[in-house]
Amino acid sequence: MNVGAVFGIIFAAIFIGFILAFGTGAITDIFCVGNVAQTNNAVKQLEIAVENLYVRGSEGSSDEYTLNIPDNARVCFVNSTDASPNVLGGWMPDPDTAHIVKRKIETQNLNVWVYYNCGSQEPGYRIEYLSVPSSFCASPGTSLYLENKGLSVEISKM
């Protein structure tokens, strides 16, 4: 084997090593973008369902909504006047940032909090007309019960 071939093999091995070491994060980010887009789309579809029930439905009318999000994501519905953890409902913000999350929810009057679980920032949302009597989190495929209460649409797990 000549010297040029040896250097070529060594260069190729180093190059493949760099791709494996630094490329996995980029590949993970690509999948995370898909998760974020799918989760945000589900929140937007829920917002449309809430608005339709509020505008078109009469008081007491109800609807069922199935949450279509990726396996590693969670959507939490939070009572914005009391964003304290709710163990039974699964609303347990990270203990290190719980006070920051609670303050953000209460000051911005947010009622939806998203956990992507892939390193992306977890944003909060405000869905107009949505009322959350008790904070809870929903996983993929969770059926949600929406009921028009006149001044708002109340959400709960089925």
DSSP string, 79-100: -TT----BTTTTB---TTTHHH
pLDDT, tens only, 10-61? 888 888 887 777 766 666 666 677 788 888 899 999 999 999 999 988 899 9
State residue 156's pLDDT score: 92
Residue 110 reports pLDDT greater than 80: yes
> Structure pTM?
0.73
Query: Cα separation of 102 and 110, whole Å?
Result: 10
pLDDT, tens only, 51-60? 999 998 889 9
Comparing 1-10, 22-31, 77-86, 107-116, which segment has the lowest mean pLDDT? 22-31
